[in-house]
Every structure is written in C-alpha cells, then in structure tokens.
C-alpha cells in the first residue's frame, strides 16, 4: 500500500500516453501548433506497462489513460489488453475528447476497458469549433452513442467558461441526464498555455444555475475523487470539480505519469520526479524507487489561488500531465 506523508492512501494513477491532440481547446493549448510534438520522446508503452505492474503490486486500483488525445495511439488497445491480462481487478478508465471514439469503442471494450470520460463543452457545432478549433460535435456525439451501445460506464466532463458556454449548463445537464450519464462541470483551471482572456464559473455559480430547474442536495455517499457529487430527487447524480476550494485536496489519492516519463505528484504543483531512466531500464527496483519517491513528494495542497498573480499561474501544460 502506498501512503503519502499526510496519511492519504494513493491507489490511483493517471497515465498520459501522448501529448498529441487533434483539438486545440481554449482552456488547454489553443495556440500550440498541431505538429509541435516529437513522438520519439515518448516512453514506449511496453516500458510503461512494467511500471504499472509495479504500481498495481503496490496497491494501485485505478489507472486512467489520458493524453493529449489517447485514441491517437494505434497501439492503445494492445496496451489496455496487457494491463487487463495482468490484473482482472484494476479499474481501467480512459479520458478522451470523443472524436475518434465511434471507431474505437468496440475494440476498447474487447481489450478490457471499463469506463470512459468524454469531454463535451457544448451542444452547438459552431461553439465546438470556437472552443476546440475542430468541427467535431457530430463525431463526439456519435462516439457517445457508440460507447453507450457497448455498455461502458460513461461520464461527461464540461469546462464552464463565461460568455462561451455558461448559458448551456442546463442543456448539457439535460443531455447527460436523459441518457443516464454522469456529468461533471469543471471550474476553469488557470495555466499559461490557455487563452488568457478566459474566465470560468465557480462551483456556487454553477449550482445556482442548475437550481433554477432541479432540486438537489449534496450526495450522502461521496466517492473519493476530484468531484463533489450532488443528487437530484429522482436519484440522478452530477458532480462539480472545483480545485479552488480549500477541501479539494483533502482526499486526493492520485499521482500522474507523463508520456515522456515524468511522475507528477500533483497537477498544480511544480515538483516532480524524473522517472525516464527507471522506465527505460524496466528494472523493478528502480521502478519501485521512483514510485515511492513520487508518493513521498506529494504536497498537502495544490497551489491554485483565485487571487494569484499572472507570474504565478501554472507553467505545467495539462496536455503534458493528462489533466
């Protein structure tokens, strides 16, 4: 079992398999060229697999595969299948923008993937183009339908931005609710790679909008994770991810591995562990050592602050850490 110095059990790892993405979202990397990344710098997935075997042996119970856009990796199904072959119990989850999901859902299911989180920031085609620089809504919605067909556990992630999609909160809520998909509204997370003109809505503001149509209360049984859950009277649950809140980090059980071999103990904290040499070696003792060091380095709290000055905004790219 892995425990950090604050007594939190670490049983969840997010693994970025690529920095490449076919979207250029306003809150992530809107001005990054599409050919900006060198694939040769990525750790081979066979090496990542050996690290994750060590992590599973140390009590990791959930692995989320992220990017960039992970479905750009042609070898991803084989990687998932190898993880599933190693452990029947570990939860295998994917986060995707959904653009390639319709073509991938069947093989992902056959490979052993359990659940999928899909980014959906608008139900209007022109707004998806505005947000992501990609005419992708039709593909994303088709991907969601295909994933439902194969009975994946699904969640929708929506980053709420003032003046861009904040007027669609109820429409997106209804879209998810009518399909029995959990939706999670995410506060915009400031970083230097995002559009610097963006402003987000905070948890309280989002809840006030939902309250105009639905009665709900804080869910009695909260699942350990980034989202605070709320329950409607009919039992439907939704979540808010609010990293600016003081209690956001209290139950954090996560570390992150980047595609080029950096272990980030916290999304919004610059300290990290360079695990590239250990990963390339496949040496179990070295892999154990960098895993333990990352858990030891995990801070008590992230450094998000609603009053932060411009020069203190995170330089870490979410497409690098996997969000």
Token pair belonging to 253: 């059980």
The Cβ of residue 236 has, within 10 Å, a number of other Cβ atoms equal to 18
> So what's the pLDDT on residue 306?
45
Length of the chain: 323
> So what's the pLDDT on residue 307?
46
Q: pTM to 2 decimals?
A: 0.92
> So what's the pLDDT on residue 196?
87
* Distance from C-alpha of 254 to C-alpha of 246, rounded to nearest angstrom: 17
Element (H, E) at 70: none
78 SS3 class? helix
Instruction: Please state the residue numbers annotated as binding site for [4Fe-4S] cluster.
Output: 21, 25, 28, 249, 252, 266
* Distance from C-alpha of 29 to C-alpha of 131, rounded to nearest angstrom: 11
Residuewise pLDDT in 10s, the chain (323 residues): 899 999 999 999 999 999 999 999 999 988 888 776 766 679 999 999 999 999 999 999 999 999 999 999 999 999 999 999 999 999 999 999 999 999 999 999 999 999 999 999 999 999 999 999 999 999 999 999 999 999 999 999 999 999 999 999 999 999 999 999 999 999 998 878 889 899 999 999 999 999 999 999 999 988 777 889 999 999 999 999 987 665 667 788 999 999 999 999 887 666 789 999 999 999 999 999 999 999 999 888 766 554 445 445 555 566 666 66
> So what's the pLDDT on residue 219?
94
Instruction: Please state the residue numbers annotated as binding site.
Output: 14, 21, 25, 27-28, 64, 68, 95, 119, 155, 189, 249, 252, 254-256, 266
**What is the DSSP track for 197-218?**
T--B--HHHHHHHHHTT--EEE
The Cβ of residue 312 has, within 10 Å, a number of other Cβ atoms equal to 11
Instruction: Please state the residue numbers annotated as binding site for S-adenosyl-L-methionine.
Output: 27, 68, 119, 189
184 SS3 class? strand
* Superfamily of chain region 12-155+252-321: Aldolase class I (3.20.20.70)
Positive or negative, the CA dihedral 120, 121, 126, 129 is negative
């Amino acid at each position: 079992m892995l425990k950090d110095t604050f007594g939190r059990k670490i049983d969840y790892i997010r693994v970025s398999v690529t920095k490449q993405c076919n979207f250029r979202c306003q809150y992530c990397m809107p001005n990054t060229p599409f050919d900006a990344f060198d694939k040769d710098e990525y750790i081979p997935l066979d090496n990542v697999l050996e690290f994750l075997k060590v992590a599973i042996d140390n009590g990791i119970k959930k692995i989320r595969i992220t990017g960039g856009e992970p479905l750009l990796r042609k070898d991803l199904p084989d990687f998932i299948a190898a993880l599933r072959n190693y452990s029947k119990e570990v939860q295998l989850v994917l986060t995707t923008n959904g653009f390639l999901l319709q073509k991938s859902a069947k093989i992902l299911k056959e490979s052993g993937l359990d659940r999928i989180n899909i980014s959906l920031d608008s139900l209007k085609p022109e707004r998806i183009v505005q947000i992501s620089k990609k005419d992708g809504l039709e593909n994303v919605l088709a991907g969601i339908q295909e994933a439902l067909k194969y009975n994946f556990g699904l969640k929708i992630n929506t980053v709420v931005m003032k003046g861009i999609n904040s007027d669609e909160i109820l429409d997106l809520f209804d879209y998810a609710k009518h399909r029995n998909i959990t939706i999670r509204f995410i506060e915009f997370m400031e970083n230097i790679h995002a559009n610097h003109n963006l402003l987000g809505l905070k948890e309280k503001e989002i809840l006030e909008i939902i309250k105009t149509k639905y009665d709900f209360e804080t869910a009695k049984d909260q699942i350990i994770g980034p989202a605070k859950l709320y329950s409607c009277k009919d039992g439907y649950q939704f979540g808010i991810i609010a990293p600016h809140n003081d209690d956001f980090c209290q139950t954090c059980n996560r570390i992150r591995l980047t595609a080029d071999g950096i272990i980030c103990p916290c999304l919004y904290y610059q300290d990290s562990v360079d695990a590239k040499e250990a990963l390339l070696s496949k040496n179990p003792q070295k892999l154990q050592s960098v895993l333990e060091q990352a858990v030891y380095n995990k801070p008590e709290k992230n450094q998000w602050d609603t009053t932060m000055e411009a020069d203190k905004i995170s330089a870490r790219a979410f497409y690098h850490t996997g969000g």
